[in-house]
Amino acid sequence: MAHDVGSASISAPSTLVTAATSETRFARTTLIVIALAFVALFLLLPLATVFIEAFRKGPAEFFSALRDAETFSAIRLTLLVAAIAVPLNLVFGVAAAWAIAKFEFKGKAFLTTLIDLPFSVSPVISGLVFVLLFGSHSLLGPVLQSYGIQILFAVPGLVLATVFVTFPFVARELIPLMQEQGTSDEEAALSLGATGWQTFWHVTLPNIKWGLLYGVLLCNARAMGEFGAVSVVSGHIRGQTNTMPLQVEILYNEYNFVAAFAVAALLALLALVTLVLKTALELRYSDEIAASRRH
């Protein structure tokens, strides 16, 4: 008897509960379709276009475009600039995170805001400030020039602009992470007789390594891909001060589309690798990289 009553109503009420905390199937499907269409239109199609345009005239054209001497020197310059800028910001980021996360001092919030400053400055302005500082109309420019030191339209200018733009990446990733971890591990190590450096190398660094890698990854992607700031300070001297993104612009403006998209495809590949590594880090070490990230 009892079970008859039960089995009679097995299927009927199951739809009631879904109404409490989820949408109708129609609404769900509609929202998914809208979201996917938006992603396809604004993210996937542009990405696909880069590769399609690059290979429009076949792989042979693609590879010959990359073998061009000027393109080759642009790739080299991009790697060089990133190789200087990223380690500099890495050291800075660790130092800043150490000071801000492990200590309490006056003006800490203000310092954090200052570190974030470059994110809110237009890339073009980031370049402009160095032109104003080192240009021929400035105070410093002519002085340095007289000693034969060239900053603008040369590698140092490119590095400076890149460092400025990528300034907050590592620090921003590490500060929340190290704040969350607190200071008890370090205090334990110190109480066991470790020196400051030993504590840093053996206790702190292993705790933050994945977060650090994550920050470096994002910093590097931006360093290699930066366009606006670098464009202002480079002077666009072909084969000398052109980075890859600038080379893309030049080739594009010369209507050499295949070559422009070929270089762009390399940069897009870099972006994809960054995304894959980033996602892998997030999946595997989600608790060892900072939870709050926005940039």
Q: Rule CB under 8 A: which of 105-164 touch another protein?
A: 105-106, 111, 113-118, 120-125, 128-133, 135, 137-138, 160, 163-164
Q: Name the residue nearer to another protein (CB basis): 6 or 59.
A: 6
Dist CA 189 CA 203 (whole Å):
7
Among 44, 79, 149, 192, binds another protein (CB under 8 A): 44
Among 180, 275, 284, 286, binds another protein (CB under 8 A): 275
Indicate left, alpha or beta for 58 from its phi (over 0: left) and psi (-120 to 50: alpha).
left
47 touches another protein (CB under 8 A): yes
C-beta of 287: minimal distance to another protein in Å?
14
Dist CA 71 CA 78 (whole Å):
11
C-beta of 59: minimal distance to another protein in Å?
19
C-beta of 231: minimal distance to another protein in Å?
7
DSSP-derived secondary structure for 16-56: HHHHHHS--HHHHHHHHHHHHHHHIIIIIHHHHHHHHHHTT
262 touches another protein (CB under 8 A): no
Residue with tokens 């200052």: 114
Dist CA 244 CA 226 (whole Å):
9
Q: Name the residue nearer to another protein (CB basis): 83 or 272.
A: 272
Around 37, how many Cα atoms within 13 Å sit in the side-chain half-sphere? Answer: 6
Q: Which stretch binds another protein (CB under 8 A): 60-68, 144-152, 208-216, 241-249?
A: 241-249
Nearest to 264 by CA among 85, 47, 76: 47
Nearest to 61 by CA among 248, 262, 264, 239: 262
62 touches another protein (CB under 8 A): no
Q: By rule CB under 8 A, what count of residues binds another protein? A: 119
267 touches another protein (CB under 8 A): yes
Q: Name the residue nearer to another protein (CB basis): 113 or 142.
A: 113
Among 75, 77, 86, 96, binds another protein (CB under 8 A): 96
